[in-house]
Amino acid sequence: MSTEIDPRTPVLVGVGQSSDRIDAPGYRRLSAVELAAEAAREALRDTGVTDPAGPAAALDTLAGVRQFEISTPGAEAPLGRSTNYPRSVAQRVGADPERAILEVTGGQAPQHLVTELGAAIAAGAAEVALVVGSEAISTARHLAGTEDAPDFSETVDGTLEDRGFGLRGLVTRQQIAHGLTGAPNQYALLDNARRARLGRTREQYAAEMGELFAPFTRVAAANPHAAAPTARSASELATPTERNRPIADPYTRYLVARDQVNQGAAVLLTSVAAARRLGIHEDRWVYLHGHADLRERDLLERADLGTAPASVAAVRHALDVAGIDLDQLSTLDLYSCFPIAVSNICDGLGLAPDDPRGLTLTGGLPFFGGAGNNYSMHAIAETVQRCRATPGSYGLVGANGGVCSKYSAGIYSTTPTPWRTDRSADLQAELDAVSAPPRTEHADGPATIETWTVVHGRDGARTGIVVGRLDPGSCRTDAAGSRFLARTVDGDETTLDLLSTGQPAGTGMYARSFGAGNRVATTRERMDEIAPRRAPGLRPEGYEHVAVRRDGHLLEVTIDRPDARNSLHPPANDELDEVFDAFFADPELWVAILTGAGDQAFSAGNDLRWSASGKPMWVPKNGFAGLTARAAMTKPVIAAVNGFAMGGGCEIAMACHLVVADTTARFALSEVKVGLVAGAGGLVRLPRIVGPTLATEMILTGRRLTGQEALAAGLVNRVVEAGTALAGARALAAEILEGSPTSVRTSLQIMDETGGIADTVEAVRHPSPALDELMVSEDAVEGVTAFAQKRAPRWVNH
């Protein structure tokens, strides 16, 4: 090799893999840390240095790929885990690196870290770096709860550069509400969108997926580290059976990533100078010739759900940086969690699915094993070995994260090359500039299916998930053509059967929105049958979580959950939404009062015990308590605040037109104290009511205001003696009821219409049709007549 190469050029000098199958002889019950350490020791030995302790002692950087048990908030580690995964591994191999990194979640992590640390070495910011990753999911599931279960917990001191979960854009409240959280469900939408674009029948597409993955099984069958080393035919992969049960159409179990694995892998990088100093022979050196890191648009913002152009662009750019074309590659390993992850690259590059070079070196995620976020570390290890075996050849590793969301590509070869920078940032800007389709959160009206899946439970239950487009001309103008997410109504076998046969894409459906999300059915008539809209009206039999009292034109509503400080969960929210729908629809009800049962709290906001239980969470379309997002508050609502109005309780009070508080009242947006934000309007309303200075302090610290402080700040209209909030609200309501209900409604409407007009004169001149209607109303005539006749008016309320 030429001595002219820059001594800071990065080279991969050691790779290692480990595994511990529970059904194999000599099963060792290794933890994730132990699997990673074993792979790391193998990578150190792979350098060919007589004493691997030399490279270990020289480590200045150790980067770890996240295990699944630390990849999402609240994830469980049933056998325990390390507090500092990279340093736990470092201790076991005799290293004490200056820098320890824990990378963000995603299957792109191994290749991204190799690229990042390669750049750091080239810049002189590092010299010897180890990248490790591992999973012991199979052992955790196998031994959790057993009498002799091992304890993998360990506390390790030392600095840690924890980069967080990195889940931005991968999980949204809308997806959670519609059951679109598991990887199979989301990827199924992509594969079915591709199927629709290609015009394949269900049977044709299933056969093609089987044909794509059958060669993968043969590679896995020969891999000693494979979790499922069994060769299977295309038909066997694609045909549903008891063992190959449907997961999420179009996937059967054999076609999805296998996460029950015990595997580890590691890659050692050094500078050329460090490799020479440590005595690592040049025949171990492999160079990263090309690389790219790109991100796809968030799932529902993609123009075509059947493609992932960022992934294709990443591979193309890595080839461009390397200065080679696709035909010059000797080996390929394409991330293969689901068929679309592979076929998308094949489609975009013009690569035949049966390319004689093969599309995997390991056997792929469904068969070798989906080792959490670390699969591609195994692919890199295999690629390095193949490059060494055939000097001068080139190998591609394509690493995918999220839902074809983040893609890192690398081109490897033993051919010496200086470090090359990529233009990923420029390409990312071009990808981000592509316009996204319009979206709507609430879908109502005729629609067309864009893509779909049917999720199958182990108990045989089915749930349909649909991405649709509202039909133009059949809904409000601003929503025409908008994309939406929906699911089927529970028990609607008619719609499920439609989604499970033929070609659903392009089929007409009917969508209807609810607080818990959007639902679809085959027709409006079918929707009216299985999920009718609730007609406004108070229930004669009453409510479970709310008490209602009607007194003439006044409606009193009491949140009746004193044992929970009148906090709200979905059933209570739904009842309040129903009650206020009835109030605003009933012409004989002119004023409403909302209060809380007991003397401790008006409302403590969201029921955190319900949230923590894992039960489904939602709020009505009209917002918390049916008020905080209600568009038409056409009649006055008074909050009678007795005790705490905390978090969502404060937001409810602010959504009311008027607030009467007793001296025990305390107002606060306390969400930051429990890791949340005042997302039901508090962040918007509080600054407008009390001003930005006080509002910012309250929002950021959770500061509580007494009733008198709230009065001074403009948050409260009146403060009354302890225990008399309801009486005070009744007195205020009586004053309102003395006026014309028509005038009251008109006043509220004009205030609402002009609230967003900054210029006072412009707001005064605002031509409200409500004022014209008032002037010709019977109440306007009655009011003037009664005044002239010196008698009490008899309001007509028209």
pLDDT bracket for residue 677 (50, 70, 90): very high
Separation CA 646–CA 606 (nearest Å): 9
335 closest CA partner among 253, 434, 402, 432: 402
Q: What pLDDT is attached to residue 475?
A: 55
Q: How far is CA 610 from CA 256, 372, 723, in A?
A: 33, 30, 29
- Digit-coded pLDDT (tens) for 14-43: 999 999 999 999 999 999 999 999 999 999
Q: What pLDDT is attached to residue 87?
A: 98
- Digit-coded pLDDT (tens) for 346-367: 999 999 999 999 999 999 999 9
Separation CA 122–CA 456 (nearest Å): 50
Both tokens of residue 117? 């640390």
Bridge partners, 204 (sequence order): none
Q: How far is CA 566 from CA 207, 560, 656, in A?
A: 56, 6, 17
Separation CA 23–CA 27 (nearest Å): 7
Active-site pick, 450, 671, 721, 782 = 671
Q: Where are the beta strands (DSSP E) in 68-189?
A: 99-102, 128-136, 161-162
Instruction: Check: CB of residue 233 under 8 Å from CB of residue 215.
Output: no
Q: How many CB atoms lie within 10 A of CB 781?
A: 12
651 belongs to the catalytic site: yes
Separation CA 262–CA 285 (nearest Å): 28
| DSSP code, position 636 | -
Residue found under tokens 């013009």: 350
Residue found under tokens 């799932």: 299
Separation CA 240–CA 206 (nearest Å): 10
Rounded to an integer, the average pLDDT of 764-781 is: 80
Instruction: Check: CB of residue 602 under 8 Å from CB of residue 641.
Output: yes
671 belongs to the catalytic site: yes
Segments in 152-239 forming alpha helices (H): 173-177, 183-198, 202-221, 234-238
Q: Is 330 exposed, middle or buried (0-12, 13-18, 19+ CB in 10 A)?
A: middle
Residue 259 has pLDDT above 60, yes or no: yes
Instruction: Check: CB of residue 268 under 8 Å from CB of residue 275.
Output: no
Q: What pLDDT is attached to residue 476?
A: 56
Give the chain's mean pLDDT: 94
Residue 759 has pLDDT above 50, yes or no: yes
C-alpha Rg value of the chain to the nearest Å: 32
Instruction: Check: CB of residue 639 under 8 Å from CB of residue 660.
Output: yes
Measured in degrees and rounded to the nearest 5, phi and psi for residue 50 equal -60, -40
Instruction: Check: CB of residue 96 under 8 Å from CB of residue 392.
Output: no
- Digit-coded pLDDT (tens) for 64-74: 999 999 988 88
Q: What pLDDT is attached to residue 203?
A: 96
Separation CA 13–CA 288 (nearest Å): 11
Separation CA 606–CA 559 (nearest Å): 13
Separation CA 767–CA 771 (nearest Å): 8
Query: Residues of 293-314 as b/e, b for ≥16 C-beta within 10 angstroms?
Result: bbbbbbbbebeebbbbbbbbbb
Q: Is 546 exposed, middle or buried (0-12, 13-18, 19+ CB in 10 A)?
A: buried
Q: How far is CA 720 from the centre of its chain?
A: 45
Q: How far is CA 271 from the centre of its chain?
A: 39
Active-site pick, 525, 651, 697, 709 = 651
CA angle 542, 662, 557 (to 5 degrees): 15
Q: What pLDDT is attached to residue 776?
A: 77
Helix axis angle for 778-789 and 741-754, nearest 10°, is 120
Separation CA 635–CA 633 (nearest Å): 6
Q: What pLDDT is attached to residue 477?
A: 53
Separation CA 402–CA 425 (nearest Å): 19
Q: What pLDDT is attached to residue 208?
A: 98
Structure-model confidence comparison of residues 767 and 629, the more confident one = 629
Backbone torsion region of residue 233, taken as left when φ is above 0, otherwise alpha when ψ lies between -120 and 50, otherwise beta: beta
Instruction: Check: CB of residue 404 under 8 Å from CB of residue 270.
Output: no
| DSSP code, position 217 | H
Instruction: Check: CB of residue 408 under 8 Å from CB of residue 293.
Output: yes
Count of positions (residues) in the chain: 798
Separation CA 548–CA 560 (nearest Å): 10
294 closest CA partner among 316, 311, 306: 311
417 closest CA partner among 290, 520, 592, 528: 290
First-to-last C-alpha distance (Å) of the chain: 94
Which helix (H) or strand (E) covers residue 641, if one does? strand 637-641
Give the sheet arrangement for strand 658-662, strand by strand.
546-551, 554-559, 591-596, 637-641, 658-662, 718-720
Rounded to an integer, the average pLDDT of 315-341 is: 98
Separation CA 310–CA 189 (nearest Å): 18
Separation CA 722–CA 732 (nearest Å): 17
Rounded to an integer, the average pLDDT of 49-59 is: 92
Residue 631 has pLDDT above 70, yes or no: yes
Both tokens of residue 576? 């309040």
Tell me, what amino acid is at 171? Answer: V
Q: How many CB atoms lie within 10 A of CB 514?
A: 18
pLDDT bracket for residue 2 (50, 70, 90): very low
Instruction: Check: CB of residue 516 under 8 Å from CB of residue 548.
Output: no
Assess whether the previous peptide bond of 25 is cis (omega < 30° from 0).
Answer: no
Give the sheet arrangement for strand 666-668, strand by strand.
601-603, 644-646, 666-668, 705-706
Q: What pLDDT is attached to residue 600?
A: 93
Separation CA 354–CA 371 (nearest Å): 25
- Digit-coded pLDDT (tens) for 538-592: 999 999 999 999 999 999 999 999 999 999 999 999 999 999 999 999 999 999 9
- Digit-coded pLDDT (tens) for 161-199: 999 988 887 788 889 889 898 899 999 999 999 999 999
Measured in degrees and rounded to the nearest 5, phi and psi for residue 375 equal -50, -45
Tell me, what amino acid is at 299? Answer: L
Residue found under tokens 């792929």: 364
Q: What pLDDT is attached to residue 798?
A: 67
276 closest CA partner among 58, 557, 435: 58
- Digit-coded pLDDT (tens) for 64-101: 999 999 988 888 899 999 999 999 999 999 999 999 99
Instruction: Give the three-state DSSP class for 709.
Output: helix
Instruction: Give the three-state DSSP class for 721.
Output: coil
Tell me, what amino acid is at 738? Answer: E
Backbone torsion region of residue 260, taken as left when φ is above 0, otherwise alpha when ψ lies between -120 and 50, otherwise beta: beta
